[in-house]
Amino acid sequence: MQQRVRATLSLNAAGLVRYLYGLPVGMALLGGYLLATGEGLPDIGSTFWPYALAAGFAQIIGTNLLLMAFGYRNYVAGTAFAKTEAIQGAVLAMVLLGEHLSLLTWIGIGIGVAGVMVVSAAGARFRLADLLQPAALCGLGAGLGFTMTSIFVKSATFDISTSDKVLSSLLTLVAVQAGQTAMQGSYVVWKEPAELKKVAVTWRTSGQVGLLAALGSACWFTGFATAPVALVRAVGQVEVIFTLGFSRLYLREPMHRHDVIGLVLIGGGVATALAGGL
């Protein structure tokens, strides 16, 4: 869906629709949860907003870099290297958050990333020169952006006065989305005002992007609040399995040998990482 709006909108406008149309969804999720639990909004600390805004900015940068990677010929390299976020997350979360993983979890993360690379390479041989391709560099940068988003989100949830991790995650989601709408919206108004009309005209597709982005982020944020960042990112690699399953069952696309090998590696990596985290 993001690629569909990217065909009509500029890079920044395509990113904006995720947050502009996702914010009402996030607010509805938070409001619905408060009504269902009977709780009120908890108090937040002095570092909450700085971390929430930093998370929003990091996700904007990561999303823009990923969309740039899509624009290059080597789409494979961009998407594959963006998935190094699991390893980047493990290293940076250990340094910045003091999260330590077992050896088995590290092995599982490595196996999962290898599986993603196998699927993304589509049978092609990887060369070190591939690291210098623009798509690969954008992919690595996107992975770093998403990793820092994870760390900032987790830090923000720490500064909310509640033991309810779902509530803290949804409150952080709304704060991050509001900041993103303001930041990227201001840029579009300043530099690309003509894109605003397109953002409004494409509301049907853009609204779906916002809905899916908000639901996905709500799940990601809850994961970050309740488990180590690297473990959440590692388990998140199952999206590759879902994608291949969707293409096979719904689009009737054939599954190749490298797809099967990659699926086995990803599944094994996720299972190994989870076993190491128990």
| 179 assigned to some structural domain | yes
| 112 assigned to some structural domain | no
- Say what the pLDDT of residue 83 is: 75
- Say what the pLDDT of residue 84 is: 79
Helix axes 85-96, 103-121, angle to 10 degrees: 150
Is the Cβ–Cβ distance between 97 and 154 less than 8 Å?
Answer: yes
- Say what the pLDDT of residue 131 is: 64
Residue keyed to tokens 């391709």: 133
- Say what the pLDDT of residue 250 is: 67
Is the Cβ–Cβ distance between 173 and 220 less than 8 Å?
Answer: no
Q: How far apart are CA 165 and CA 173, in angstroms?
A: 12
- Say what the pLDDT of residue 258 is: 78
Q: How far apart are CA 257 and CA 262, in angstroms?
A: 9
Helix axes 48-71, 134-158, angle to 10 degrees: 160
| 83 assigned to some structural domain | yes
**Structural domain total, the chain:** 1
DSSP string, 63-84: HHHHHHHHHSS-HHHHHHHHTT
- Say what the pLDDT of residue 197 is: 92
| 117 assigned to some structural domain | no
| 278 assigned to some structural domain | no
| 44 assigned to some structural domain | yes
Identity of the residue numbered 164: D
- Say what the pLDDT of residue 234 is: 83
- Say what the pLDDT of residue 6 is: 75
Q: How far apart are CA 275 and CA 182, in angstroms?
A: 41
| pLDDT digits 0-9 by tens, 92-102 | 998 898 888 88
Range of the domain at 70: 2-100+127-227
- Say what the pLDDT of residue 123 is: 62
| 262 assigned to some structural domain | no
With a cut of 50, which residues of the chain have pLDDT below it? none
- Say what the pLDDT of residue 80 is: 67
Alpha helices in the chain (DSSP H): 2-6, 11-20, 23-37, 48-71, 75-82, 85-96, 103-121, 134-158, 165-191, 195-201, 203-226, 229-235, 238-249, 257-277
Q: How far apart are CA 84 and CA 30, in angstroms?
A: 31
Quote the pTM value: 0.86
Residue 127, C-beta contacts closer than 8 angstroms, at least 6 positions apart: none
Residue keyed to tokens 């690699």: 237
| 205 assigned to some structural domain | yes
